[in-house]
Amino acid sequence: MNKRFSVGYGLVTGVILGVLLSVSVGVFADRNDGASETLPVEDLRRFTDVYMRIKRNYVTEVEDHDLLDNAIKGMLSGLDPHSAYLDEQEFRDLQVGTSGEFGGLGIEVGMEDGFIKVIAPIDDTPASRAGIRAGDLIIRLDDTAVKGMSLSDAVNKMRGKRGTDITLTIMREGVEGPQRITITRDIIQVQSVRSEQLEPGFGYVRVTNFQSRTARDLVRAVEDLKEDVPLQGLVLDLRNNPGGVLNGAVGVSDAFLDSGLIVYTEGRLQESQFRYTASPGDVADGVPMVVLVNEGSASASEIVAGALQDHKRAVVMGTPTFGKGSVQTILPLAQETAIKLTTARYFTPDGRSIQAEGIQPDIRIEPVSVTRTEDNGPSLNEASLERHLEGSIDNGAFGNGAESDDTDETDEEPLAQRDFGLYEALNLLKGLAIMGARP
């Protein structure tokens, strides 16, 4: 190193170190928890050393702005899979996404071992129609390897103009070798709540993700179900629900609870600690409920399942949930950027941590495929025997040997084949309704 560069290097290093120290002092001075912090002067000096070596020795010239942006991204990505730096575009996308309309594939993702892991595809989106499943590991985006790519960069690459294609190379548990799936991008307009009558008196409400308006839409859906016939049971389907807005989850839980704690958070700072309690009123009027969950149920959906389970308001059925029980706070920065920082953990009313544990179902149902067996002809029973005795004297002494016709004349796919988990939930609700009706 020549003398002139050495002088310049020391000057720049001193300036950068001085700025970092002044910022650090300002940050620590703002702390109100009484904690004593020692400034890592040697580590900050090491940072400036690396910074200047890149500036001098990298194969091409690098802008200061890019280096510092990458340093910030590295600091956050090294903390946990959910903390991240949001540039201007990502910050705007986040704000639009929580409103219910955004562009892309319709897929909720996270990081796992350097790869992109699918938390859940959103219903009726390009990703779900293409067959993407919760738990899939994305290893390539088109011809670009995902390993070493940040989550935000991967999400940006998956986004694009409506009508354009992207090929995802995925690894799926139980399937040998990688699979290539081509998906056409589209504008994602998520209707977070849909409902239907499974059978007279037994309602079904599906929540695909939690938005600011989800609780209001759910209450309206349940009220509509109650208009036709009185409810005897209700299924709340949270399978493959990746989460969303916390207030949406609290509102949905509150809709079915008369009182008590819904969820609470614990963090280092006082402002990270919250307790949410239910207000009087149950939109379902206390009828039996089943909550369906699976490994794609994450974050806000785990809050709802945990709250209804702890209060014995619903039976949780399915497979263990994803286990994303941390709170991310959006902290806006200058120039319309922000950081998404993990600041607390969620706990259910009974004090169970959701983080890395998930919600364990009361009744476990493994995902299975049900097929109808071939019809072997009419079954043999007492009523099919010639000259059988009738069950009621008023109907005559003997039957005419006629066989009952139990053939289903509809072409609709049976519920057990279409959705075995929902079929089992409906059967459980029927049993609970029968037991509740008996004196």
Active site residues: 299, 310, 324
State whether residue 242 is helix, strand or coil: coil
Cα–Cα distance measured from residue 69 to residue 63, given in angstroms and rounded to the nearest whole number? 10
Cα–Cα distance measured from residue 116 to residue 108, given in angstroms and rounded to the nearest whole number? 10
Contact 235/198 with Cβ under 8 angstroms? Answer: yes
State whether residue 322 is helix, strand or coil: coil
Residue 331: both structure tokens together: 């902290």
Contact 122/244 with Cβ under 8 angstroms? Answer: no
Q: Count CB-CB contacts under 10 A for residue 21.
A: 15
3-state secondary structure 84-108: EEECHHHHHHHHHHCCCEEEECCEE
State whether residue 328 is helix, strand or coil: strand
Cα–Cα distance measured from residue 248 to residue 254, given in angstroms and rounded to the nearest whole number? 10
Query: What residues contact 95, with CB distance under 8 A and at least 6 apart?
Result: none
Residue 59: both structure tokens together: 């194969």
